[in-house]
Structure formats: C-alpha cells, structure tokens
A and B are shown apart, each in its own frame.
Chain A
Amino acid sequence: MATQTPIAISKGDTALSRRLFFDAVQDWLTTVDHKKIGIMYIVYALLFLVVGGFEALLIRIQLAIPNNTFVSPQAFNRLFTMHGTTMVFFVGMPILFGFGNYLIPLMIGARDMAFPRLNSFSFWISAFGGVLLYFSYLGGDGLYGAGSAPDVGWFAYAPLTARIFSPGHSTDYWTLALLLSGVGSIGTALNIVATIICMRCPGMRLNRMPLLPWLYLVTSVMVFVAVSPLTAAQIMLMLDRYVGSHFFDTQAGGSAVLWMHFFWIFGHPEVYILVLPAFAFANEIIPVFSRKAIFGYPAMVAASVGIGFISLSVWAHHMFTVGLGPYGNTFFAFATMIIAVPTGIKIFNWLATLWGGKIQFTVPMMFAVAFLFQFLIAGLTGIMLSIVPFDWQLGNSYFVVAHFHYVLVGAILYMIFSAFYFWYPKMTGRMLNVALGKWHFWLFLIGFHLTFDFMHIPGILGMPRRIYTYEADRGWGTLNMIVSIGAIFQAVATLIFVYNLVSSYFKGEVAGADPWDAWTLEWSTTSPPPGYNFAITPTVESRRPLWDLKHPEDPDSNYEE
C-alpha cells in the first residue's frame, strides 16, 4: 500500500488515475511481497468471516424458538456445513497464515519469505478453494439437478458422502475446495519453516528468536503431518465418487470408521494448528503491555513443541461414541488429559508475565486478558469431555458445540482481534480507533458469554447438535433464545470492528514506527514497512533487540544464557 510511487494527479486527469488504479490492481495481483500477500490473506479471511458469521446468524434465528421454519431443513444442513467449513478452512487458516506471512520475516529480520513465488501460489490456490466452495451454491446442482451447496457436515462422515446419498456435485465442490486449500496450506507452511530456519538475521539463534516465529514453526510442522492426511483422505473420497473405488463404501467391505479416523487425524491437530498462532499473539502482546519480558521463555518453547507432539495422538477422542474398546478409550482419554499439562504451563507463564508488571489496559491487552480466562474455561470443559463416560453422555450434543466454540471464538478469535489492534498500526501506519475498539470489546464480550455460556446448558439437557428444530415442551426454548440474542450482540460488535478497520485506515491517528514501545524487530522499521523491510540487515544480541537499542546501559544480553 505504501510502496506505490506517489504521483501528483490533477483532478481532471481521469485517464491517468484509471491507469494508476489498474497499476495498483496489477501490483496486488502479481505481488510476491510477503507483506502484501499477508494482507491479502487477512482481507480474504475477513470477507469469509463475515459470510460465515452471517450463516451462523441464520442458524441462530432458526433455533431461537421451537418449531421454527425460518429456513428449510435442507438449507439448514447446508448452513451448518458451510459455516463450519468456511470458518475452519477459509477464515481460521488464512487469517493465521496472513499474520504469519506478514510478521515472521519482519520479526526475524529478513527481507521476504524463503520462496516468494511459492507464497503467492499458495495464497491464490487457497483463495481459489474458497471461491470454489461458494460457487457450489450456483454449480452444485450439476447434471442431476440435485443438491446445492454441500450439506454433509464439516467432517463429512461416510457413507453420507457416497454418490447414492449425496447426488449432484455439492460434495465434490467441498472435496475440491478442501484439497486446494490443503495444498495452499502445505505450501505456506513449507515456506514458513524454510524462512524461519534459513533466513534469520545474524545473531538470531533459535534461542533468541521471538516466540511468535517459534510457535509458527511448530504450527507449520504440524500442518505437514496433519493436513496431508486430509489431502490423502480427500483423494480417496474423490476416487470413490468419480472412479468407483470402495475406500468408504460399506457395501463392498469398506469402512466408514476409517474415514472418521483419517478425518480426525487431521481434525484434532487442526485445532492446535489454529490455537498455536493465537498463543503466539498472546506471547508477543501480553509482555509488551505488562512491560516485562515473557516469563519462562524456554518453558514456553518446550510447551509448544510438547503440544505439537501430543496433539498428534488425541484424535480418537472425537470418536469415543463409536466404541473404541477399553484400550483405545484409555489411551486417547489419557493423551487428551496429558495435553492439558503443557497448555497449563503456558497459562501459568502468561499469568507470571502479568504478575508484578505495569499492566496497560490497551484494547489489544483487554482482548488478551479475556482470552486468558476464556481459554481456561474452554480447556476445562475439554478435560470434562476427555472422560469417556462423560463423553458418551454428551457427545454430539450442544455441550460439545459450546466447548469448541469457546476455544475457537473465546480463545482464537479473541487473540486474532487482539492481534488486529496490536499490528494494524504496523500494517497501515495508523492506529485503530480506541473508543470503537472498546465498544467492540465490551459488546463482543457480552455477546460471547450470552451465547456460549448458555449454550452448554441445552447440551446437558440433551439437545443434539445439528438438529433443525425442537419441540416446545423440551424446555430448551428460553436458553436457545438467550444464545441467539448473544449472537446478535456479537454481530453488531463485529460490524463495529469492520467499520473501525475501514475508517481508521483513512482517518486514524498516525502511528509512527513503534506506537506500543515494543521490543521485537518489526517495530524498528517504518509503519508500514518499505518493500525491502530493513534498509540494513539488523543484527541481534538478545530476544528483545529494541529493548537493547532503547536501553544501551542495561541490555537483555547481560541476562540471557
């Protein structure tokens, strides 16, 4: 955005300004600059966030009162499928990759990613995947005139995805969209790993690297071992649907449970792929506004790597209700509980960072503190669900829905909002409006707790997920109404946020290079950074190079190691 050569345009000269417009478009379409690709990822994810949020609103309107017929049952199935798929693959992944793309080279003192053209390719193929998914609303009918958008649920259990039960092309759009987004994810993850390992500036040994690149490194390695199985499973599903193979065809001896395994081998690490970048944001933001270095840097790194490893062995806790036998149940329940240990280490380290700090309650910090509490509760319901008999009782109920939304919204989305308020000045050169930010925070907080606190209760009362409607005498009506009212609060808050993003871009207070008095390298260059990031490749001596620069009398390098 700032790299355009400023040219004075006289008002009457529309031909020139049109040419400049097309130049700008061409510049964005063909760019290989990690900052522009990062911003495109983020904007693309925000568009899908609005779409996916709109779908959630429609779902909540349908469920607000008993015996409602606001949408048809068929449309309802499509809505929850598209909502889940959109939010995980076309909001969560791209927004986190967007921030990673933008921040990692800046934080490690590099001028770009390791493979800029691969970066561009990965973005466009992911973007194409998202477009393909939504094109299904138009093209899903296919020659059979059946189906529309995918309606098989976001985990698309077999044999529902077989040709007989899902005629038309809707499931194929779903499969292809995920396959393409998976290819893009693997490409970007590869790029992130190569960048972090091979492009660090002189002096930045791995034990001096900021925690954000560290956590992205763990996330990216997890993408290789988690997203690839999904890609493989999607290839199998495509073969089943197009060539007539029998991977998940139960009538030819195939196994529907095998799909569940393959999907959740992807699906559970995916949760950690999404949450580790959120932890990464917290690792950068909480210390800055506590005015202290992060507590327990090595423990944080070890806990992240530990989470990465353990998360690969917990997938079948999504399948307790299938019946795994006593040994399987014990193993996966145990692994699921064990993962709470490194996660707990992180929470304690954040608390210890806050402890005794001069805490500044800026908008990013408000979101980060809310994240801490909400993530704790989300983790606690997670431990409840890891207990097999409890899961048998509440599996596939709204309790589960409330649990994972507590993680995805209460933890991940909160840290994403926090990251927006924190790094928006770096990306655009202007601060986000604080008053609007506080409105956003409080309205979203009220909405979040109305929706997802109360959503646990109908689950305990027996309300299954994905039901189209329910009888009035079940006693779920009031609770569902409260949940739906909370959704409206969240929608309003999100609109305020989007308005803030747009209006602050034009009218916001000019930020300067380092508005938060922070310590990592991205704040040493201008806001927004020039195309080459750093005029001179920086050299670092500690984990907080800008602290050393600002306090030459007492540099961190005196205390580390």
Chain B
Amino acid sequence: MNESVVIHQPTTGEWKLPSRGVVGMACLIVAEAAIFIIFVVAYVFYIGKSIAGPKPHDVLELPIVSTICLLSSSITVHFAVSALHHGKRSLCSIWLALTVLLGGIFLAGTAQEWYQLIYHDGLTIQTNLFGTTFYSLVGLHASHVIVGLLMLSLALLFSLRGQMTVKHTERLEVLSLYWHFVDAVWVVVFLVVYVFGR
C-alpha cells in the first residue's frame, strides 16, 4: 500500500475505460433528444389549436413506404458495422450503399409529401399552427437524416476506395449509433404526427 502515487505501475492492463467516441456520441444523442422533445412538446401542445385549416386529418397520409425504408436502414447499417468487424470490406460497402439508398428513398418520400402539401393542399409554415409545428418538427428530423446521409456517404466513399479497415469499426459504430437515433426519433415523430395527432 505504500507505493508512491505518481510512479507508473504496470497494472494498466486491467484498467479499461469506455470508448470516448461512444460516450461522446451518447452525449450528443442526449442533447439532441432534448431538442427534439421540445419540438414534440410544441407539436402536441398545439394539436387542434389552429385557427384556420387545413387540418392534419385532411391532408396527412401515412408515410408507410418511407417509414419502412428508414427503419430497415437501421438494420442494414448494423450489418455494415458487423461486416466491417469481421473484415468483410466489400460486404460492408454493399450494406452501406443499401443504407444510403434507403435513407435517400425516405428523403425523397418527405420531399414528395411536402410538395403535395405546399402546392396542392396550400399548407406552408405560415398557414397555421399545424403548418408551423409540422414543418419544423418533420424538417428538424429530415435535416438530421440529411446530415446522417452525408456522413454515411462519406463512409461509403472511404469503403469503396478501400480506406476503411477493421480498425475503423468503432468509428463506423459511432456513426451507426447516430443513425439509430435518427430512426428512433422517426418512430416518435411518426406516432405523434401521423398516428395520434391525426
């Protein structure tokens, strides 16, 4: 018990701390979740308080295909990470490409929905409280999807150029955590906006 404290002791083998990438991403997710909660609260608070139409029930349709695509992209990104972990680099590229594709389909679905709402139903962010809260909440989520897609595309690019190896597994895993978070937020947004709020 009498060893001096500032002398290095070779006991570091058992001294293992969590990965800072994962902890950092977990912190970011907590902070982002708080932002989303405030937007969700605003949405729920203003349900049915719009003075003028259109109302959610008149214009919103369930985005089934988009939702399936986005949720399954969580599975594909998981497969990409585990492929990289086992050193199957080309398989990793394929799963990543599929993830980007599925995320892209989701974004296209949102774009198509917004086009419909703006040009045919006349709902903009200025129209009423529904428009205000809908576009800001869904838009906030969509902007997170865009950021995630940019990063996934970057990972795909590195993977295709053969620059991503087993030692990058943890980094890809951190990115996949973010992507899972974006998906989880969509589940909440889907339930609040399209199921209970309609």
Contacts and interface: CB of A to CB of B under 8 A. Distances in A.
A548 B8 CA distance: 15
A199 B15 CA distance: 11
B31 interface: yes
Contact of A254 (B9, B18, B129): B129
B184 interface: no
B9 A115 contact: no
A115 B20 CA distance: 8
Given A225-B34, A252-B129, A549 B23 contact: no
A197 B23 contact: yes
Contacts of A262: 38
Interface stretch (A232-240, A299-307, A414-422, A443-451): A232-240
Interface string A73-117: 000000000000000000000000000000000000000001100
Nearest to B28: A190
A214 to B, nearest CB: 16
A529 B24 CA distance: 26
A457 B46 CA distance: 42
A186 interface: yes
Contact of A243 (B24, B28, B42, B126): B126
B5 interface: yes
Main secondary structure of the interface of B (DSSP, over half): helix
Interface in A496-547: 521, 524, 534, 536-542, 545-546
Interface in A261-280: 262, 265
A470 interface: no
Contacts of B9: 202, 539
B20 A244 contact: no
Contacts of A254: 46, 129, 132
B17 A197 contact: yes
Tell which of A253, A537, A546 has the most Cβ of chain B within 10 Å. A253
Contact of A524 (B3, B6, B23): B6
B35 A228 contact: yes
A352 interface: no
B8 A555 contact: no
A488 B3 CA distance: 54
A163 interface: no
Main secondary structure of the interface of A (DSSP, over half): helix
Contact of B5 (A225, A236, A245, A540): A540
Interface string A198-229: 11101100000000000000001101111111
A360 interface: no
Interface residues of B, number: 46
Contacts of A189: 27, 31
Contact of B45 (A193, A258, A546): A258
B144 to A, nearest CB: 13
A246 B128 contact: yes
A432 to B, nearest CB: 27
B49 interface: yes
Given A194-B27, A258-B42, A246 B19 contact: no
B19 to A, nearest CB: 7
A558 interface: yes
B7 A539 contact: yes
A149 to B, nearest CB: 27
A258 B33 CA distance: 19
A198 B5 contact: no
A323 interface: no
Interface string B139-160: 0100000000000000000000
B6 A194 contact: no
Nearest to A243: B125
A137 interface: no
B31 A186 contact: yes
A67 interface: no
B51 interface: yes
Contact of B42 (A224, A247, A545): A247
B2 A552 contact: yes
A265 B42 CA distance: 13
A228 B42 contact: no
A229 B126 contact: no
Contacts of A194: 20, 23-24, 27
A253 B49 contact: yes
B34 to A, nearest CB: 4
Contacts of B15: 202-203
B180 to A, nearest CB: 18
A195 B3 CA distance: 26
B5 A541 contact: yes
A199 B31 contact: no
Contacts of A549: 4-6
A194 B28 CA distance: 11
Nearest to B51: A253
A236 B1 contact: no
A548 B31 contact: no
Nearest to A227: B31
Contacts of A542: 5
Nearest to A221: B30
B190 interface: no
B38 A202 contact: no
Contact of B6 (A191, A229, A236, A538): A538
Interface in B9-49: 9, 11-12, 15, 17-20, 23-24, 27-28, 30-39, 42, 45-46, 49
B6 A552 contact: no
B136 interface: yes
Contact of B129 (A197, A199, A221, A253): A253
A235 B33 CA distance: 15
B24 A236 contact: no
B50 interface: yes
Contacts of B51: 252-253
Contact of B3 (A221, A245, A534, A541): A541
B8 A539 contact: yes
Contacts of B27: 189-190, 193-194, 220, 224
A239 B125 contact: yes
A224 B11 contact: no
For the complex of A and B, the 6 pairs showing the least CB-CB separation, nearest first, are A228-B34, A232-B38, A545-B5, A245-B132, A198-B20, A190-B27
27 contacts: A114-B23, A186-B31, A191-B24, A194-B20, A194-B23, A203-B11, A224-B30, A224-B31, A226-B34, A228-B35, A232-B38, A236-B136, A239-B136, A247-B42, A252-B51, A253-B49, A255-B46, A262-B38, A521-B6, A524-B5, A538-B5, A539-B5, A539-B7, A545-B5, A548-B5, A549-B5, A555-B1
Given A228-B31, A246-B126, A258-B42, 16 more contacts: A114-B20, A197-B23, A198-B20, A203-B15, A228-B32, A232-B38, A235-B35, A239-B125, A254-B129, A262-B38, A536-B8, A538-B8, A539-B6, A541-B3, A546-B5, A549-B5
